[in-house]
A and B are shown apart, each in its own frame.
Chain A
Amino acid sequence: QKEVEQDPGPLSVPEGAIVSLNCTYSNSAFQYFMWYRQYSRKGPELLMYTYSSGNKEDGRFTAQVDKSSKYISLFIRDSQPSDSATYLCAMRANTGNQFYFGTGTSLTVIP
């Protein structure tokens, strides 16, 4: 079983829709949770991070962590064509330097 599971999609939505992206994980030691956005032929860029459980909002993006269910989500409100990319979740325990990444969900926002 992989440490982190993420539905690869692809996901296609109309402009202005609310997008929900999700990851599940198996390691209860994970405390740091991140979302990266990766455009085609580019490196990942950090979008959001949260520590432990709870919500975090940044503009149109909201990250949620539910540690009891081992489930994290990224919501994108008022989605734009420029949001079309692959979204990667990543997580890490308190100790150690290794990050564990999901496989990524491909999102297309149609104008």
Chain B
Amino acid sequence: NAGVTQTPKFRVLKTGQSMTLLCAQDMNHEYMYWYRQDPGMGLRLIHYSVGEGTTAKGEVPDGYNVSRLKKQNFLLGLESAAPSQTSVYFCASSRQGGVSNQPQHFGDGTRLSIL
């Protein structure tokens, strides 16, 4: 039972390069989320999905795109990486909205540096 798995764990990119972060969950959760965590800023929601084939913008969506083609996977894409996107990215999933008996389960993060 892996829970939420993020791939890769670390990555260094040059400005302008593109990449995709993968999040996979094996709990059959409907909701999935992408956050970024920066010092002094806390966790900020980038995009989220309430089900397969759906996506929605969060607090800081600019410069990112997402796709939820399969229920268990949620992809975060950076089309043209910028140094301001250097951060730790966390994926989370939950059965519903993430409270009560449906807490958000987080992965262990992807550490991304943009040079």
Binding site for B on A (CB under 8 A): 4, 6, 8, 32, 34, 41-46, 49, 51, 88, 90, 92, 97-99, 101-104
Contacts and interface: CB of A to CB of B under 8 A. Distances in A.
A103 B107 contact: no
Nearest to B90: A43
B2 interface: no
Interface residues of B, number: 26
Nearest to B45: A98
Given A43-B108, A92-B98, A97-B98, 14 more contacts: A32-B100, A34-B103, A41-B109, A42-B109, A43-B92, A43-B109, A44-B104, A46-B103, A46-B104, A92-B97, A97-B50, A97-B56, A98-B59, A104-B42
Contact of A44 (B44, B48, B106): B106
Contacts of A102: 42
Contacts of A92: 97-99
B24 to A, nearest CB: 14
18 contacts: A4-B42, A32-B99, A41-B108, A43-B92, A43-B108, A44-B90, A45-B106, A46-B104, A49-B100, A92-B99, A97-B31, A97-B98, A98-B45, A99-B45, A101-B35, A101-B42, A101-B43, A104-B42
A36 to B, nearest CB: 8
Contacts of A104: 42
Contacts of B45: 98-99
Interface in B34-51: 35, 40-45, 48, 50
